[in-house]
Amino acid sequence: LSSGINAEYGGSELDSDHPGFTDEVYRKRRKMFADIAFNYKHGEPIPVVEYNEAELETWRQVFTKLSTLFETHACKEFRNVWPLLVENCDYNKDTIPQLQRVSNFLKDCTGFSLRPVAGLLSSRDFLAGLAFRVFHSTQYIRHGAKPFYTPEPDVCHELIGHVPLFANPEFAAFSQEIGLASLGAPDDWIEKLATLYWFTIEFGVCNENEDLKAYGAGCLSSIEELENCISSKSKKLPFEVDNIVTTPYPITTIQPVYFVAPSFNEAKRKVMEWSQQIPRPFTAHYNPYTQSVELINKRSNCIKMIRDLANEMKTLEDAVMKLVD
């Protein structure tokens, strides 16, 4: 399964070994989805897509099989959100959820939103989106000839693998931290951040009550990967960022190694500490009130941030004083 990064736009062009390369109907559908993304303008509602029966059947097979594994293989944060998606976003085996409805749900939960994309993005562009709490999502679906394999991200990967955890505040903050670290970073550091993204947001594994659980979207949207990531057959290593960013990985085969995070908060802390090494003349900070990224590179910026933090601490102090022991 391919990641959403490490390549330029794919759009409707398919490689000769793609399962849908010789399928004219599928290629026309891919072009339609690509046109939607290319014509989309920020702030507009994401167009509704009417999926055909072949696409619905592919979704049905993937959704049905994966749903049987989540209770035993997915992390608790994923399991907690899944029923909310079923209730609020039309998550079921017979319906492919619409991106706008899912985006509205995420916005209410964590401030994240979805933006349609035609295919793969460059690492820098994709990571920059995360900094602004924007996740670039495809709308097309994999070819029905191979429903359990896709050579690039598709709507199954995005909606089943990624979306649930973007509704979790701790995971959303962890994801955004990787994006913030990418802003203004040199190209060699972007490559390291893309590798970090691969082993966390795509193929992350965490500890949960002494058991291994999946939180990476590449695991949660692939039956074979989901079973492999928590089995004893694959190699598990501790979550050390310096080791993660220098580890090579295969793109089109099952992952041979996974890095185990003790928790999202601990992983976020380690990423923040590591990202301080990135050579850039500023620090990036996301302002949730204006939904914009601010550069902390002047004394006045620092004073404003200190005052904002002081106000937050005052509110917290007031709340604590009112608590009854």
> In the annotation, is 162 catalytic?
yes
> In the annotation, is 221 catalytic?
yes
Catalytic position from the list 137, 143, 162, 222: 162
Spell 10-35 as b/e; 16+ CB within 10 A means b.
bbbebeeebbbeebeebbebbeebbe
CA distance 179 to 124: 9
Decide: 262 and 292 in contact? Cβ < 8 Å: no
> In the annotation, is 157 catalytic?
yes
Beta-carbon count within 10 A of 324 CB: 3
Catalytic position from the list 2, 123, 175, 221: 221
CA distance 198 to 3: 7
CA distance 179 to 168: 17
> In the annotation, is 202 catalytic?
yes
Amino acid identity of 191? Answer: E
Catalytic position from the list 2, 73, 157, 222: 157
Nearest to 136 by CA among 126, 128, 124, 151: 126
Residues carrying an active site annotation: 157, 162, 202, 221
